[in-house]
Amino acid sequence: MTERILITGITGFAGSHLAELALEKNCIVYGLKRWNLSRLRNVHHIMDKINWIDCDITDYVSVKKALEIAKPDKIFHLAAESFVSVSWNHPSHFMDVNYKGTVNFLEAIKDLKINPRFLIPGSGEEYGEIFEDELPINENTPLRPVNPYAVTKIAQDLIGYVYFRSYGLNVIRIRTFNHEGPRRDNVFGIPWFAYQIARIEEGIQPPIIKTGHIDDRRNFTHINDVVNAYWIALEKCNPGELYLIGSDENEKIHSYREIIEMLLKMSSVKGIKIEEDPQYVRPTSVPRLIGDTSKFRNLTNWKPKISIDKTLEDTLEYWRYFVKNNLY
């Protein structure tokens, strides 16, 4: 029987890659878009293969109608406000989208008396202030969020648990550490560095990369490995339980400073300088987000396959294309 898949946030970074994976698996794919706001460049190549539904997830009626149309077997709930830096300026909006949008889905699922498997992807940002002796982070590590975005993701995660515990909904809870690759917007760290390098190579920008604080350490995973993990999570993970997803391998743990140096070695322009700009420095930072994903790996046998070098190459090539063709 052909599975019916609903992807919220399908026009975004992870959502567009997940749509490709679902289509490869010959699923019937439904995607949500806002009739006048969604950016479709990430899915232009598969537009005619998606069953599109106009929906605003902050509107319960809209969400309920979308579920009635899609009748999904599985829901990948990837729609979110995810750019940490602006969450300080829009904390209520972030809560409306990330928390209220999730509640609308859970309520509509309950009211329609359906029970698809429902993936809620959280973020390593939820852990916030982590001390060296607490590494690596696991499912029991305390949450000390230091930005409004992280608070909204914690709320989203916990309300998912409430609906599992109270109503028996098939909620799969995960927290994903940093994932990178083509199509991630250039307001985020690695694509922002790659975008500037591409501009420098085209002679549009002086040979200086503007950065915020770049000594924070992360474990980085290619987006294609992550969406494969999402797919496996909905198939194999137990509803209600929490799982961490990411790269535990030492060769994929780096500071952003190290990442920039790796990108600079891939550039055709030599002697590019790095300069911290106060406008890109957040009010609070998260100095270390390094996870222990053994619970998920032991259950599913998932393991990331794509190297950090390939992740950076794919990101840089993506932004080279966009800059060269004046598309961004």
Would you say residue 36 lies in a domain?
yes
Q: Tell me: the pLDDT tens digits for 96-118?
A: 999 999 999 999 999 999 999 99
Q: How many domains does the chain have?
A: 2
Would you say residue 295 lies in a domain?
no
- What pLDDT was estimated at residue 64? 98
- What pLDDT was estimated at residue 291? 95
pLDDT band at 225 (very low <50, low <70, confident <90, very high): very high
Q: Tell me: the pLDDT tens digits for 114-134?
A: 999 999 999 999 999 999 999
Would you say residue 299 lies in a domain?
no
Task: Verify that 105 and 198 share a domain, yes or no.
Answer: no
Give percent of the chain with pLDDT exceeding 70.
100
- Span 309-318, average pLDDT: 98
Task: Verify that 237 and 264 share a domain, yes or no.
Answer: no
Task: Verify that 268 and 229 share a domain, yes or no.
Answer: no
pTM of the model: 0.97
Task: Verify that 51 and 17 share a domain, yes or no.
Answer: yes
Would you say residue 294 lies in a domain?
no
**Average pLDDT score over the chain:** 96
Q: Tell me: the pLDDT tens digits for 141-170?
A: 999 999 999 999 999 999 999 999 999 999
Task: Verify that 67 and 26 share a domain, yes or no.
Answer: yes
Task: Verify that 55 and 172 share a domain, yes or no.
Answer: yes
- Interatomic CA distance for residues 243 and 157, integer angstroms: 11
Task: Verify that 76 and 212 share a domain, yes or no.
Answer: no
- What pLDDT was estimated at residue 39? 82
Peptide bond into 142 cis (omega under 30): no
Would you say residue 313 lies in a domain?
yes
CATH number for position 132 = 3.40.50.720
- Interatomic CA distance for residues 6 and 118, integer angstroms: 10
- Interatomic CA distance for residues 160 and 71, integer angstroms: 20
List the domain range (segments joined by +) for residue 269.
185-218+252-288+306-324
Would you say residue 207 lies in a domain?
yes
- What pLDDT was estimated at residue 18? 98
- What pLDDT was estimated at residue 249? 94
Would you say residue 297 lies in a domain?
no
pLDDT at 328 over 80: no
Task: Verify that 268 and 320 share a domain, yes or no.
Answer: yes
Task: Verify that 131 and 201 share a domain, yes or no.
Answer: no
- Span 182-187, average pLDDT: 96
Q: Tell me: the pLDDT tens digits for 18-54?
A: 999 999 999 999 999 987 777 899 999 999 999 999 9
- Span 304-325, average pLDDT: 97
pLDDT at 285 over 90: no
- Interatomic CA distance for residues 211 and 190, integer angstroms: 10
Task: Verify that 129 and 207 share a domain, yes or no.
Answer: no
Would you say residue 195 lies in a domain?
yes
pLDDT at 327 over 90: no
Task: Verify that 51 and 162 share a domain, yes or no.
Answer: yes
Contacts of 4 (CB under 8 A, 6+ apart): 27, 28, 30, 70, 71, 72, 73, 74
80 within 8 A of 7, measured Cβ to Cβ: no
Query: Hey, what's the torsion of the CAs at 213, 214, 215, 216, to 10 degrees?
Result: 80
Task: Verify that 227 and 83 share a domain, yes or no.
Answer: yes
CATH number for position 208 = 3.90.25.10
